[in-house]
């Protein structure tokens, strides 16, 4: 039974909002410090240091060096009777990209050739703000919140090693949530849906071995460019002819290298590409089909090939109940005309998917673009930046998800 001494829901919302608004300057400060010190996957040493320093200062128990540079922090709410309550994990990635920043702002990257061009500096600041707020307001929830500060999302992937290191155990995580600041959506919106939010990511690299020779005497050769060009074209038939047209997917050949002179037939051609899809039932399908096509074309032309194929991240699949929880919270936090975008999906990938394979959860997009302030460059662009107003919104959504989930 709920104690009558608890504040009413509407008072509660107003209190949370006021408390978080007061945090906004610190959120911006932390984000800008992180932005100035971008670090690549598994090299997030300064980042981890800053997180550790804050957690220690606030008296939040935490473990460092999880999967190299990862950190796990635990905040416990006031307990109701003997019930320990549920455990909700909040995941934030903290790595940057090998990009030279072209923004001219006071908080520009100070590390040459590296940049927080995906907003993970913001994710870390939001998670820190949420941890701070909850540690200051343990009475506002029951149960436990586990903060997972994850390295290397941009590659080679830090989620899997963190799971292997046991971050979802002791205490056992019941559900997990996470967000991505999203410049494909305007500030004041949240993109959330149940089921597939982001795609599986696969990568292949193929070398076609032909037989070189004189450009004027093709009958003495096996032209690897002609074979390779047929392979590129034939690969397009996977999506157009083999996959159910009601299912989405992408096969992109993004690199093709062959030849050095106009009058020489190239003996090798190299290509690499990416495959994306939402349906986990297609796991293994593209890998088999890509190889069949390459083998078939090569065989018909007298060429040989070698193929490397990697399944990097599975699709990001949201649990229905947790997605509904996030949506209902988001509706009260982003009270804008655009509001909650219900069927937001992208063929981008994310290793949050590994956590979602282990426990039910929800990953969502927090709109962060503000074209009026020049803050609308896409992710991974050298001029990427986002509207920092979104930081407070992120904390508010997380805090209210914790309250709602850990009460339930």
Residues forming the site for Zn ion (CB under 5 A): 118
Q: Is beta strand 175-186 parallel, antiparallel or unpaired with respect to 361-369?
A: parallel
Nearer to Zn ion, 50 or 118 (CB): 118
Question: Least distance (Å) from Zn ion to the CB of residue 180?
Answer: 6
Alpha-carbon dihedral 144, 149, 150, 151, rounded to 10 degrees:
-160
Q: Catalytic pick from 39, 44, 95, 351?
A: 95
CA dist 46 → 56, 114, 387 (Å): 15, 14, 24
End-to-end CA distance of the chain: 12
Nearer to Zn ion, 20 or 96 (CB): 96
Nearer to Zn ion, 98 or 284 (CB): 98
Question: Least distance (Å) from Zn ion to the CB of residue 64?
Answer: 22
Residue 183 CB partners (closer than 8 Å, separation 6+)? 119, 368, 369, 375, 376, 377, 378, 379, 384, 386
Question: Nearest residue to Zn ion, using CB?
Answer: 118
CA 94, 112, 380, 161 torsion-angle sign: negative
Nearer to Zn ion, 95 or 174 (CB): 95
Question: Least distance (Å) from Zn ion to the CB of residue 277?
Answer: 19
For 74-116, what is the HEC assignment? EEECCCECCECCCEEEEEEECCCECCCCCCCCCCCCCCCCCEC
Q: Catalytic pick from 153, 174, 223, 351?
A: 153
Task: Report whether 185 contacts 344 (CB < 8 A).
Answer: yes
255 classed as catalytic:
no
CA dist 115 and 313 (Å) reads: 23
Nearer to Zn ion, 118 or 265 (CB): 118
Question: Least distance (Å) from Zn ion to the CB of residue 112?
Answer: 20
Question: Least distance (Å) from Zn ion to the CB of residue 350?
Answer: 7
343 classed as catalytic:
no
Residues belonging to the active site: 95, 153
């Amino acid at each position: 039974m709920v104690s009558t001494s608890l504040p009413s829901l509407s008072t509660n919302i107003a209190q949370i909002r006021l408390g978080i608004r007061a945090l906004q300057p610190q959120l911006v400060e932390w984000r800008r410090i992180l932005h100035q010190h971008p670090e690549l996957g598994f090299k997030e040493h300064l980042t981890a240091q800053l997180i550790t320093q804050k957690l220690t200062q606030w008296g939040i128990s935490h473990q460092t060096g999880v999967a190299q540079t990862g950190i796990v922090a635990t905040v416990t709410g006031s307990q109701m009777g003997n019930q320990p309550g549920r455990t909700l994990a909040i995941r934030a990635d903290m790595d940057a990209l090998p990009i030279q920043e072209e923004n001219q702002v006071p908080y520009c990257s100070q590390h040459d050739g590296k940049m927080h061009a995906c907003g993970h500096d913001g994710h870390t600041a939001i998670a820190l703000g949420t941890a701070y707020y909850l540690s200051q307001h343990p009475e506002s929830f029951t149960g436990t919140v586990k903060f997972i500060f994850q390295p290397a999302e941009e590659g080679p992937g830090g989620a899997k090693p963190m799971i292997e290191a046991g971050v979802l155990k002791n205490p056992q995580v019941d559900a997990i949530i996470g967000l991505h600041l999203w410049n494909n959506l305007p500030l004041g919106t949240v993109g959330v849906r149940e089921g597939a939010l982001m795609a599986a990511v696969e990568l292949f690299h193929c070398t076609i071995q032909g037989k070189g020779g004189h450009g004027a005497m093709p009958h003495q050769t096996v032209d690897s460019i002609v074979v390779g060009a047929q392979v590129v074209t034939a690969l397009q038939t996977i999506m157009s002819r083999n996959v159910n047209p009601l299912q989405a997917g992408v096969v992109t050949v993004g690199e093709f290298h062959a030849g050095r002179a106009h009058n020489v037939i190239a003996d090798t051609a190299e290509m690499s590409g990416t495959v994306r899809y939402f349906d986990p039932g297609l796991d293994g399908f593209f890998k088999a089909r890509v190889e069949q096509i390459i083998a078939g074309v090569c065989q018909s032309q007298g060429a040989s090939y070698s193929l490397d194929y990697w399944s990097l991240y599975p699709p990001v699949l949201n649990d229905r109940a947790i997605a509904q929880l996030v949506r209902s919270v988001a509706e009260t936090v982003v009270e804008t005309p655009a509001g909650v975008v219900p069927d937001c999906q992208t063929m981008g990938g994310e290793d949050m998917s590994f956590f979602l394979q282990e426990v039910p959860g929800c990953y969502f997009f927090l709109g962060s673009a503000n074209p009026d302030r020049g803050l609308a460059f896409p992710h991974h662009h050298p001029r990427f930046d986002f509207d920092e107003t979104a930081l407070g919104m992120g904390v508010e959504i997380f805090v209210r998800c914790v309250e709602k989930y850990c009460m339930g």
